[in-house]
Chain A
Amino acid sequence: MRDVAVIGVGCTEFGEHWGTSFRDLFVKAGALALEDAGVTGERLDALYVGNMSAGRFVEQEHIGALIADYAGLATNNTPSTRVEAACASGGLAFRQAVIAVASGMEDVVVAAGVEKMTDVGTGASVDMLASAADREWEGFAGATFPGLYAMIANDYMHRYPLTREQLALVAVKNHENGAKNPIAQFRNRITVDTVLNSSLVADPLRLFDCSPITDGAAAVVVVPLERAREFTDSPVRVLASAQASDTIALHDRRDISTLDASVAAGKRAFTQAGLTHKDIDMLEVHDCFTIAEICAIEDLGFCKKGEAGRLTADGATALGGEIPVNTSGGLKACGHPVGATGIKQIYEIVSQLRGEAGARQVDAEIGMAHNVGGTGATVVVHILGA
């Protein structure tokens, strides 16, 4: 196995891109990543593209070929593969690219993620996102995605000391970070009252507990570490790439409030990297809902079960805190184009480790990315080091 490094990153602004198509979003992110890496398209050995549901959002399948074509790589016949694991599609695409390079099969590889969600109405997108859970036995009964996470929140709050205000502080902190991120969908600060006065979506979760519907794309370039200096003076090493599965339905979990796949993927990543929690300087976690950030911090082992609310209220997860979480603004404020999110997490960590994060810069040499599919049926964890 070869060591792998990220040599370039690119990301579109996240938001409602009414004037930009699915393919144009991808092309923009890809071009930014290649420019950052100093690589021309013909040098690429392969593309791995994370996408959850172009088939339903824009009625287009065969995404791998489409993207290779519009990225100008059809004439080179560059292999291009779509990777799907619901909201973890991006993280999984990155993992596939890392595996391809580590194995020695491919050398210069793009991992990307793209989702175009605003071409359908809200009801339709709620229905599509619910297909990340069990369509036959959760969706059939009327489960929505916020509804499933709301059931995690109610179970959690029944068993552990988490207040409604602490939960709101997750969103407040992520908007604070998003306000400092030029690609974030929401760059406005909010207060606890903003969250508590917003409309109920699925009790106890309110609108400002939920990540938004977003268009966006992100791309990164990976190569063998031994070749990284050909391209850049500041390669970022991939120290671990881990993945875990769990039951597709929330009701079949061992513990409703613990994502066992997060626990497993986190442990595997630490073992691979030979690191401990003290070594991690920053975290990008999958906060599709505020409760999800609370669970992620705990399930990855950064504190005991039941303590992440207090940690958040104490400011430990804010910029400049003990362990900054979601410096990008997270899914909540930066936005959540589902297939792109996992790649955006890598983009954010690389930006931070290279000291290019501007107003939201933290002091970090090692960062961890945590990307969840569904309510925790797939979890992908990566550790990156400067």
Chain B
Amino acid sequence: MSVSRFWRKIPQRYNLVGTKCTTCGRHFFPPRSLCPDCRRSGNIVDHKFTGEGAVVTYTVIRSASDQFENTTPYVLAVVELDEGPRLTTQVACPIEDIKIGMRVKSVFRRIAADGESGTIHYGTKFVPAE
């Protein structure tokens, strides 16, 4: 991922800043600039999520792309935030611990790097809440 492409989403990736439609109240993470329910009558503003949620489904990645290959095996999950939206994330926990329904909370972590001399991508992972 190029530097500018990573840089422009830093608040979203580091601090779980998504959006909210003030017309219907629906929350979005990943952020959307158009509400799919209200479309042009929607009004989108930033919204910082609490980072608490639960695991909807998961897998353990054993074979990854080159960028992630040296971190396998790792837990990948769809997490539903308490505010409603769902996102794809890694859950930093022993692979045998991951379960559907498990409560999790967001943490700031290193995600990957663009090769040995490229940008280091930081962002959000989740860890077990208890």
Binding site for B on A (CB under 8 A): 123-124, 126-127, 130, 134-138, 140-144, 146-147, 150-155, 158, 199-205, 249-252, 256
Contacts and interface: CB of A to CB of B under 8 A. Distances in A.
Contacts of A252: 86
B64 A142 contact: yes
A290 B40 CA distance: 41
Interface of B: 1, 5, 9, 13, 30, 56-69, 71, 74, 76-78, 86-90, 100, 111-112, 121, 123
Contact of B62 (A123, A127, A153, A199): A199
A25 to B, nearest CB: 25
A375 B57 CA distance: 15
Contacts of A142: 61, 64, 68, 71, 74, 76, 90, 111-112
Contact of B63 (A137, A154, A202): A202
B115 to A, nearest CB: 12
B88 A138 contact: yes
A180 to B, nearest CB: 30
A113 B66 CA distance: 28
A203 B67 CA distance: 20
Given A153-B59, A155-B56, A203-B62, 11 more contacts: A141-B76, A141-B88, A141-B111, A142-B74, A142-B112, A144-B65, A150-B59, A151-B77, A155-B100, A201-B62, A251-B87
B60 to A, nearest CB: 4
A267 to B, nearest CB: 21
A186 B68 CA distance: 29
B112 A249 contact: no
Nearest to B72: A142
Contact of A155 (B9, B57, B65, B111): B57
Given A141-B88, A141-B89, A151-B76, A130 B63 contact: no
23 contacts: A124-B65, A126-B64, A126-B65, A134-B30, A136-B5, A136-B30, A140-B112, A141-B76, A141-B89, A141-B90, A141-B111, A142-B64, A142-B111, A143-B61, A147-B59, A147-B61, A152-B57, A154-B58, A154-B59, A202-B59, A204-B59, A249-B88, A250-B88
Contacts of A158: 57, 100
Nearest to A199: B62
B9 A136 contact: yes
A143 B30 contact: no
Nearest to B95: A203
A291 to B, nearest CB: 11
A138 B59 CA distance: 13
